[in-house]
Amino acid sequence: MLAHPILVSNRQTRTIDEPLVSTKHAGDPILAALNRAVPSDLVNISENKSAQLFELEVNGENYLIMRQPLNQYGEQPLVMVICRNANKIDAVRLLYRSGAIGLAFLIVSLLGAVWLSYIVSKPIREVTKGVNQIRQFSFGDIKPVATTWIKEVAELAHSFNEMIGGLRFFETYVPHKLVHRLIEQGTDAHVESEERELTVMFTDIVGFTTMCEGMNASEVADFINDHLTILAEYVEAEGGTIDKYIGDALMAFWGAPEKMENSAIGACRAAKSMVTAIKEDNKRRVAAGKKPIGLRIGIHTGPLVVGNIGTPSRINYTVVGDTVNTTQRLESLGKEVDPEAEVIVLLSATTKSLLPDDFKMKPAGSFQVKGKEAEVEVFRLLE
């Protein structure tokens, strides 16, 4: 033995026969029992190819012995021996193993939490997106929320999907574009009625009853729906509000809910677009062997009461006043001014006075209309 801590504390007897201290006589029981050590794989030391690991039991204690040959100090190799209590090494290894297992459980728990969060949050995100689409009245774009095995989330998805089904049903009857415009203005459900100067439009098909002869109920409905769809497109394109459909007739107004500096311009632009659209549609109808449509349009500007009118159980955002009656009379005058016209647009003098010079028109005469003592001066809007 060349080196050992025991050589410092205890002076060892050396003789000519034993100039160095023998492991048997060093006074260390572990060194004395080294020849009984057996190979061990308790700890992986494969990185050090020249080292060897052994296990040794001494006085009821287990030890790990690592032998490392040192060949660089002469022909006879030196051997370095390191000894450690195996129980302490097992504890360290157990600590590392427990830490690794704990870390694995933590990772699995985090992944499980992320997965569970996704399962819960995905339907909630879909509901949130759907609510925003409801606010925009885009009921047709809302996709059903997928259900999950989580009871509360599944109930939420089921309730939301049923609500969307109901809203899509009522969408047919609710003027959602008008409601959306009121919401954008920050208007609540109770809209105070007020007086404003608005422009009103009435349209009506000439000889509607005659045109529908030979049609069944479904065909009549399709005919009216197609016709009103064409007209409604131009009303909304020019910022108008569709008040109601009366059979084949349409009533719309400009200047509410948004205030307009000149409501007559939007109404007359819409009327000119309607004239062009109806004439183009008539070409297609004639080519298909159908009767062309004759259309009368009346436009008048004047004071009206606008707001929520009706009962708590059924209420309309509408207009009330003599201006509405005058507009309807102007539309009816079309059959007197030019009964053979394909499309005729008649304006009151009030509306005419609000239009710029680029609107072409000509006088159509003065007429006595029902409900008016004085005659009404009428102008015909040209293309």
Q: Do 348 and 201 share a structural domain?
A: yes
CB 263 within 8 Å of CB 255 = yes
In terms of domains, do 101 and 222 share one? no
Q: Are residues 202 and 277 in the same domain?
A: yes
One domain for residues 65 and 108? no
In a domain, 325, yes or no: yes
- Is 121 found in the same domain as 83? no
pLDDT band at 336 (very low <50, low <70, confident <90, very high): very high
Top-confidence residue, 163 or 359: 359
- Which 8-state DSSP code applies to residue 293? P
Q: Express each pLDDT in 315-329 by its tens digit.
A: 788 899 999 999 999
CA distance 2 to 20: 7
In this structure, is residue 40 part of a structural domain? yes
* pLDDT score for 47: 73
Q: Name the residue among 231, 234, 226 with its Cα closest to residue 288.
A: 226
**What string of H, E and C letters represents the secondary structure of 237-285?**
HCCCEEEEEECCEEEEEECCCCCCCCHHHHHHHHHHHHHHHHHHHHHHH
pLDDT tens by residue, 174-202: 666 666 666 666 555 556 778 999 999 99
In a domain, residue 178? The reply is no
Same domain, 150 and 213: no
Q: Tell how strand 294-311 and strand 194-206 pair up.
A: antiparallel
Answer yes or no: is 187 within a domain: no
Q: Are residues 66 and 163 in the same domain?
A: no
Boundary (domain end) residue, out of 35, 64, 92 = 92
Domain match, 198 and 317 both: yes
Residue that finishes a domain, picked among 92, 122, 153: 92
Evaluate whether residue 237 is within a structural domain: yes
Angstrom CA distances, 263 to 252, 269, 328, 351, stand at 12, 10, 18, 9
Residue 176 lies in a domain: no
Residue 163 covered by a domain: yes
Confidence class for position 347, pLDDT limits 50, 70, 90: very high
Alpha carbon 40 to chain centroid distance?
64
Q: Which residue has the higher pLDDT, 302 or 175?
A: 302
At 257, which CATH number?
A: 3.30.70.1230
- Cα 236 from Cα 239, distance rounded (Å): 5
pLDDT of residue 90: 56
Question: Are 359 and 312 spatial neighbours (Cβ–Cβ below 8 Å)?
Answer: no
Containing domain of residue 167, as a range? 96-171
pLDDT at position 266, please?
96
CA-based nearest residue to 139, from 104, 109, 106, 177: 177
Same-domain pairing of 214 and 342 = yes
Quick one: 85 and 131 in the same domain?
no
Question: What are the pLDDT digits (tens) for 241-294?
Answer: 999 999 999 999 999 888 899 999 999 999 999 999 999 999 999 999 888 999
One domain for residues 209 and 298? yes
Split into its structural domains, the chain has a count of: 3
Give residue-wise pLDDT tens across range 91-149.
Answer: 556 556 767 887 888 888 888 888 878 777 788 888 888 878 776 667 667 788 887 77
Same domain, 206 and 341: yes
User: Rounded distance, CA 45 to CA 53, Å?
Assistant: 8
139 within some domain:
yes
